[in-house]
Amino acid sequence: MTDPADVRPSAGARLRLERAWVSDDGARARYRAAVLTPDAEFPYDLELAADAEPQVTATATAAPPELEAALTMLARLTARGVAKRVADGLAPWPPSLLRWRGPGRGA
């Protein structure tokens, strides 16, 4: 994964996903994920499928509930976008995603 120091926010939180695996048929993917705050990192494993709710599992201390909910929503939106990505001629699962939540950005 990317070095957390490179993406750690000075305020708010960053949500980082990096693809670890895609099924042969492209229907499912696994991501290593993290919620990064100015002073902590909360690692997760995600199992995504276009036709199912994401499985979001903390691999150490879980993030605060509102940040874990934001990570779950990002996972859900990523899975929901698979059909559109394929229709647009793209790979179904993006290799990585980075989103920020903070002052003025959906805090």
Contact in structure between 4 and 36 (CB atoms under 8 Å): yes
Cα torsion angle, 53, 41, 7, 105, sign: positive
pLDDT of residue 106: 54
b/e for 71-90, b at 16 or more Cβ within 10 A? bbebbeebbebbeebeeeee
Is pTM beyond 0.85 here?
A: yes
pLDDT of residue 93: 97
Q: Residue 38 pLDDT more than 70?
A: yes
pLDDT of residue 105: 57
